[in-house]
A and B are shown apart, each in its own frame.
Chain A
Amino acid sequence: MIRRNGFTDETLEWQSWLEPVKPAEASPLQLEVLDESHPQSRTSPYYLTLAHQPLMLRHRSAAYNAIMYAPGGLPRAERELGAMVVSVTNGCVYCTSVHAQRFEQLAKRSDTVEQVFDDPRTAGTTEREKAIAQFAIAVTERPDRLSAQDIAPLRAVGMSDEEIIDLLHAVAIFGWANRLMQNLGEPAEGSAA
């Protein structure tokens, strides 16, 4: 278990500030989209809140699942590293906990997680991880001032266009995910899940 600076890799709950859709009252389309989105979405206050707009959720989930889970390209642990760094930078405690766990599962180590919780600006066990973390921060904090200089360190550690696009997608979609988690509800320390 890692707990630093208000972040944790322990499992948290999330509670909605809106009224989540009740599964028993959901439309067939809502149930179909929930099942496409996540295996546990029918019991998730987050997905049940987003289910108020099922077609918007459908396309969000299609993008999210393709970005974070598709085979090939950037290794999945590195996509999770990007997601975790963005979540810490945006102060999203809930997303950070989920993606710290995923990174640990995929990378089979937690040293980088401790570093990101301490200070994402200096985090990274390798030069490649450092380049990923710094790119994730730049995209998150100053999208209006990104330049070729922000891409050069990724090229220097050997990334192809396709890998950089995978990283850009992972980092950008956490700009989306964090904002929903932080503005439609809040994390809660829970016992379940």
Chain B
Amino acid sequence: MSSSEELAGFALFDRLTAAQRALVAEAAREVTFTAGTRLFDEGQLASGCWLIRAGQVALETAVPGRGQVVVHTLGPGDVLGWSWLVPPHRWHFSATATGLVRAIQLETTQLLALADGDPALGYPLALGLFEVLLGRLQNTRSRLLDLYGSPRER
């Protein structure tokens, strides 16, 4: 189990009270992954959410002719995995540790039960996840602008 203080280091839980964080901490445990460890596979039933404390995780997908293509990497302070939250509860990408990774793993069945049972916890938690998603979306949009491309190519 991770402590409530450790969770407080993640913006995801900024809106939770200390008591609510303590409840979430009961669904959390510390994990480490060595380089090359696959955290989850694209298409599999989604379960688990990871709060990365150190190291880097690559989100990737298989592209014919190119092999596994890394579409994004996540690092310390990032939240990995939200497909467990919404149907069809399947991972859209695969996730692999690119080096030694230390993370807090949230037991999402337990987390969902907590959130469903107490909207006063579920709502701020959902807002926190929404904030993570929004940041991820804005960064992806920034990449789509291809800002560094040569004017000659436009």
Decide if A and B are genuine partners. Answer: no
Which B residues are closer than 8 A to A by beta carbons?
A: none
